[in-house]
């Protein structure tokens, strides 16, 4: 079954970063992927892995809402013999639905966020328009957590054509002790130190300021180092804050923007994820895959991922984050138990192969009903 995934761009800080994970397992589910991006990115972090997996990647180089978007996308769908379009994020939803209608093939759409209340009347009108368009033109709308499904059903007043399909990530395997030592040494982390990792995109709403507040309040003698990975518009501000504060600069180091998440997690003892909202953050799935316990804020769909066996859920409070980090840092046995439980939970529920099979089930149902 040939499926086109349509995205606005293949920038590594967007939800489309998971497409390489899906592509790694697509063949097992009988899926052949084509990835089409409306715009072009100079960053090949996502593009290169897809191409190494043999996935055709087409970047159309279009501006936002370019009038040529629909005909050019429709032409690519025809050229690749696509049977169904799977869209991600509003610009791709609009273009993908129209291109699918032109080619007389179905389209499905994945919701990636739980949005805050619209800021003004204009935002409310846009959201209403998107809801109506999905209802009219999408054969299915996919929520990635039950919490997100309930949120969206509350907006629309109906669960019609709405399904839950949790995301997955590729299995990185378990790092050897030698690999772990090498990667910790590269981060200048001593053997006796606990390494805390955060890999959330550095943008508003991801809670980096809350995390730094917590790190600043940690006991001075706690043997702990913090690695901040990722990139985004807030990175210069975060680097500046750390540089100006001795309590932070002594613990926090910034990882290269293009650091492989699996490589970083192989060195980690704890992952801390403190967003103010989230449907089902991929960073938590990667932590579980690597067998790393988590401290995360109790928001959105995060409690569906992080259980008491695999991590600690906290309110949006720096003191609560401090208590959770200190508790895990001082209890090696508890961390080890959570690490094993996290790895087992990943294999049971969030492996990319299972994700691909769940999506194949949705596609089969859509095409069968259409026939």
**What is the C-alpha separation between 364 and 34, in angstroms, rounded?**
17
Q: Return mean pLDDT, the chain.
A: 94
CA nearest 3: which of 142, 105, 110? 105
Do 355 and 345 lie in a common domain?
no
Residue 91, helix vs strand vs coil: helix
pLDDT at residue 15 is higher than 70? no
Do 41 and 132 lie in a common domain?
yes
| Residues in a beta bridge with 107 | 85
Residue 16: what pLDDT? 56
pLDDT per residue as tens digits for the range 234-276: 999 999 999 999 999 999 999 987 788 888 999 999 999 999 9
Measured CA distances, 275 to 136, 295, 307 (Å): 33, 11, 17
Do 184 and 135 lie in a common domain?
no
Mean pLDDT of all residues in 144-159: 93
CB count within 10 Å of CB 258 equals 12
Token pair of 59 as six digits: 């970047």
Mean pLDDT of all residues in 283-307: 97
Mean pLDDT of all residues in 271-298: 96
Do 243 and 330 lie in a common domain?
yes
Do 221 and 248 lie in a common domain?
yes
User: Among 125-139, 145-159, 296-310, where is mean pLDDT lowest?
Assistant: 125-139
pLDDT at residue 159 is higher than 60? yes
CA 237 to chain centre: 23
Q: Which helix (H) or strand (E) holds 84?
A: strand 84-88
pLDDT at residue 168 is higher than 60? yes
Residue 326: what pLDDT? 98
Mean pLDDT of all residues in 224-238: 94
Tell me phi and psi for residue 71, to 5 degrees. Answer: -60, -35
Longest dimension (CA), the chain: 66
Q: Give the strands of the sheet with 224-228, arranged side by side.
A: 252-254, 224-228, 194-198, 270-273, 294-297, 311-314
Q: Give, in degrees to the nearest 5, the angle at Cα 149 between 7 and 97.
A: 35
**What is the C-alpha separation between 294 and 273, in angstroms, rounded?**
7
What total of structural domains would you count in the chain? 2
Per the CB < 8 A criterion, the answer to whether 288 and 280 are in contact is no
Range of the domain at 251: 177-349
Token pair of 252 as six digits: 């926090």
Q: Give the predicted TM-score (pTM) of the model.
A: 0.94
Residue 370: what pLDDT? 82
CATH at 128: 3.40.50.2000
**What is the C-alpha separation between 33 and 22, in angstroms, rounded?**
9
Instruction: Give the CA radius of gyration of the chain.
Output: 21
Residue 85: what pLDDT? 98
**What is the C-alpha separation between 152 and 165, in angstroms, rounded?**
14
Residue 256: what pLDDT? 84
| Residues in a beta bridge with 224 | 194
**What is the C-alpha separation between 93 and 7, in angstroms, rounded?**
8
Do 182 and 149 lie in a common domain?
no
Do 13 and 97 lie in a common domain?
yes
Do 317 and 362 lie in a common domain?
no
Do 358 and 286 lie in a common domain?
no
Do 46 and 128 lie in a common domain?
yes
**What is the C-alpha separation between 365 and 346, in angstroms, rounded?**
26
pLDDT at residue 70 is higher than 60? yes
Residue 118: what pLDDT? 66
Residue 43: what pLDDT? 84
Do 12 and 38 lie in a common domain?
yes
Do 129 and 67 lie in a common domain?
yes
Measured CA distances, 16 to 13, 251, 316 (Å): 8, 32, 27
């Amino acid at each position: 079954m040939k499926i086109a995934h349509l995205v606005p761009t293949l920038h590594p800080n967007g939800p489309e970063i998971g497409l390489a994970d899906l592509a790694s397992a697509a063949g097992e589910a009988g899926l052949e992927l084509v990835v089409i991006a409306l715009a072009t990115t100079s960053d090949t972090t996502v593009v290169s892995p897809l191409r190494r997996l043999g996935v055709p990647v087409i970047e159309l180089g279009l501006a936002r809402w370019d009038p040529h978007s629909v005909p050019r996308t429709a032409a690519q769908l025809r050229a690749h013999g696509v049977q169904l379009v799977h869209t991600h994020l509003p610009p791709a939803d609009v273009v993908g639905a129209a291109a699918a209608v032109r080619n007389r093939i179905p389209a499905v759409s994945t919701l990636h966020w739980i949005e805050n209340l619209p800021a003004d009347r204009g935002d409310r009108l846009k959201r209403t328009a998107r809801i109506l368009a999905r209802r009219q033109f999408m054969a299915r709308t996919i929520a990635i957590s039950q919490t997100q499904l309930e949120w969206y059903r509350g907006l629309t007043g109906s669960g019609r054509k709405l399904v839950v399909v949790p995301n997955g990530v590729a299995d990185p395997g378990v790092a050897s002790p030698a690999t772990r030592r090498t990667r910790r040494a590269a981060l200048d982390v001593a053997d006796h130190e606990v390494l805390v990792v955060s890999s959330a995109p550095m943008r508003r709403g991801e809670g980096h300021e809350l995390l730094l507040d917590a790190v600043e309040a940690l006991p001075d003698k706690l043997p702990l180092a913090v690695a901040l990975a990722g990139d985004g518009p807030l990175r210069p501000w975060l680097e500046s804050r750390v540089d100006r504060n001795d309590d932070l600069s002594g613990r926090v180091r910034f990882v290269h923007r293009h650091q492989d998440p699996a490589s970083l997690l192989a060195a980690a003892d704890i992952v801390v994820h403190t967003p103010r909202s989230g449907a089902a953050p991929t960073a938590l799935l990667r932590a579980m895959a690597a067998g790393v316990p988590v401290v995360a804020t109790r928001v959105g769909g995060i409690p569906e991922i992080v259980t008491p066996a695999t991590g600690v859920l906290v309110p949006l409070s720096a003191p609560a984050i401090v208590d959770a980090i200190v508790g895990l840092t001082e209890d090696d046995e508890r961390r080890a138990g959570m690490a094993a439980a996290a790895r087992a939970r990943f294999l049971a529920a969030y492996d990319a192969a299972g994700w691909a099979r769940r999506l194949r089930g949705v596609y089969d149902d859509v095409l069968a009903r259409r026939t």
